[in-house]
Chains A and B, each alone.
Chain A
């Protein structure tokens, strides 16, 4: 799809704002995950501001595309993106993880409209997405189902049961996206439990596989377009991302998987993100 440069700049700027909101909400919550949400900000921004058919004012719209977030722990990026897309006021992001909030530490379908499913325990999203896609195909529905997963959760057996099922049933209306940031709680994925050759594994399960730079907006859009054009099988997009992306001192550092920044760190991080605005514009000049 030919997307004008102006739109790419718009999405990049949204991603920058989403990153700011993520830092603000994590520091307010005093706990949560930092690296994954920052690393997925470009992808979430591209989906909510370009790819998904959705209506923030009618989250239950029957024909909407479904985005199943399997690795629920990166939910701050989804909440922040939804807020910037108009699902709820951005200020509500500061209630993350607090008593009585709709923004649960791990997302719950019944708490916040627009969150398609409850998730957190890893490895369970792909099966649900496959169920959605299967049901939709039975009824001739046109919407697409997307499932975002982490790379660490590929360790879970349920993922491969689901991959086998989706491949066998040729669920071409299902697109999975793996956040390939190479880290998990105990260290680098290739040290904890090697995943490579990840692409070949999915291909062996009858999936079409695409590898992209997960911070390149055009590559994200093109990969989804390619997935839509594949009618024989589901597609997996392996998106290579940088955990902690946007804040130099924490990029690639797996110790930032599961912790929130302190007030002092947040101040520094937000300063860095705010100065990024000029960079985005100058890159596109």
Chain B
């Protein structure tokens, strides 16, 4: 059943509201414009689609246009942050942190200045634009840089709160957002703590734990619900991929004894990798990975791409069953 402490939306399984996570980011920037005069927004010719247009209109003096120049986007932001501003740099994730990765590494991460990197249109949800615009490597790119933190929002409400949290965090932050409409699962009452996981679905004495990040959390919830009478599942929302909430993840994984990870990202280097790195040195549990398996995307509707690349509800259901079958009986050997 849904974890009552997560205070998720009441209409979550009936008819959830649908919004893109980038909308929550845009709303967050507007709020920050109001409460924090040091926040500035840098844009690389994508004001409408990255949802910074409203900020631009309300706070034109704090909006900086870079043109189609993502390398300069990062370096100018580094200078602004070094001076004392809190710059949010915005583009599609394929370009930032994709194209400007080295600029981020040298002038933001090694330099330890508090630039907030907002990568929109992450995952397959760009849909018809095709492989060139579908960022499936961004979590990996950002996660490997020391000093960088990585936030991946599951819905527009969480995106709003992640944006506010990023502004007060004293170091560099990567914020991952998506283009497509996706269900709004969380509410204003849902706990959001930077660096902490949140249990959203709790079966009794869970046999399998599902760690999910981003809008695919919804598919993980649907999978858990579908298996409600057959497999007891714990679904956990991991909005902070770095720093990972390792203690809690190890504790819960040990207890459940089998793990599934879910993300709209390459299997290599994403949330699944982060969880596997953590668990492999702490406890022996089988892990099943839901994500994109070393392939680029293609044009299509977001939902059909999610199915095609093996991240649909049925794929998660299968992964949960597989993880359960692979469980090591306590004190015994793997079957």
Query: 1/0 contact trace for A29-55 toward B, CB 8 Å?
Result: 000000000000000000000000000
A residues at B contact (CB < 8 Å): 66, 68, 108-110, 116-121, 123-136, 138, 157-158, 161-162, 164-165
Interface assignment of B84: CB less than 8 Å from any CB of chain A: yes
Residue contact B83 to A136, C-beta cutoff 8 Å: yes
Which residue in chain B gives the minimum CB-CB distance to A145?
B79
B residues at A contact (CB < 8 Å): 40, 61-62, 64, 66-67, 69, 71-72, 74-85, 87, 102-103, 106-107, 110-113
Residues of B within 8 A of A116 (CB): 82
Residue contact A128 to B76, C-beta cutoff 8 Å: yes
A-B contact pairs, 8 of them (CB 8 A): A124-B78, A124-B103, A124-B107, A127-B78, A130-B76, A134-B76, A135-B85, A161-B69
Asked, given contacts A118-B107, A124-B103, whether A131 binds B82 with beta carbons under 8 Å apart, the answer is yes
Residues of A within 8 A of B112 (CB): 109-110
Q: How many A-B residue pairs have CB under 8 A?
A: 104
Pick the contact of B76 from A109, A110, A119, A127 — CB < 8 Å?
A127
Asked, given contacts A131-B82, A164-B67, whether A120 binds B72 with beta carbons under 8 Å apart, the answer is no
Residue contact A117 to B69, C-beta cutoff 8 Å: no
Residue contact B110 to A135, C-beta cutoff 8 Å: no
Residues of A within 8 A of B107 (CB): 117-119, 124, 127-128
Residue contact A132 to B75, C-beta cutoff 8 Å: no
Residue contact A132 to B80, C-beta cutoff 8 Å: yes
Pick the contact of B66 from A68, A126, A165 — CB < 8 Å?
A165
Residues of B within 8 A of A165 (CB): 66-67, 69, 72, 76
Main secondary structure of the interface of B (DSSP, over half): helix
Q: Report the separation of the CA atoms of residues A130 and B66 in the bound assembly, to the nearest whole angstrom.
A: 11
Residue contact A158 to B103, C-beta cutoff 8 Å: yes
Residues of B within 8 A of A130 (CB): 72, 75-76, 79
Pick the contact of A128 from B61, B69, B79 — CB < 8 Å?
B79
Pick the contact of B111 from A109, A129, A134, A164 — CB < 8 Å?
A109
Pick the contact of B79 from A110, A134, A138 — CB < 8 Å?
A134
Residue contact B111 to A162, C-beta cutoff 8 Å: no
Pick the contact of B72 from A68, A119, A127 — CB < 8 Å?
A127
Q: Report the separation of the CA atoms of residues A165 and B71 in the bound assembly, to the nearest whole angstrom.
A: 12
Residue contact B85 to A128, C-beta cutoff 8 Å: no
Give the shortest distance, in Å, between B67 (CB) and chain A (any CB).
7
Which residue in chain B gives the minimum CB-CB distance to A132?
B79
Looking at B74, B79, B80, the one whose CB has the most chain A CB atoms below 10 A away is B79
Residue contact A109 to B82, C-beta cutoff 8 Å: yes
Q: Report the separation of the CA atoms of residues A196 and B228 in the bound assembly, to the nearest whole angstrom.
A: 71
Pick the contact of B82 from A120, A132, A138 — CB < 8 Å?
A132
Residues of B within 8 A of A127 (CB): 71-72, 74-76, 78-79, 103, 107
Residues of B within 8 A of A133 (CB): 79
Which residue in chain A gives the minimum CB-CB distance to B102?
A121
Residue contact A108 to B110, C-beta cutoff 8 Å: yes
Residue contact A164 to B79, C-beta cutoff 8 Å: no
Residue contact B71 to A161, C-beta cutoff 8 Å: yes
Residues of A within 8 A of B87 (CB): 131
Residues of A within 8 A of B113 (CB): 109
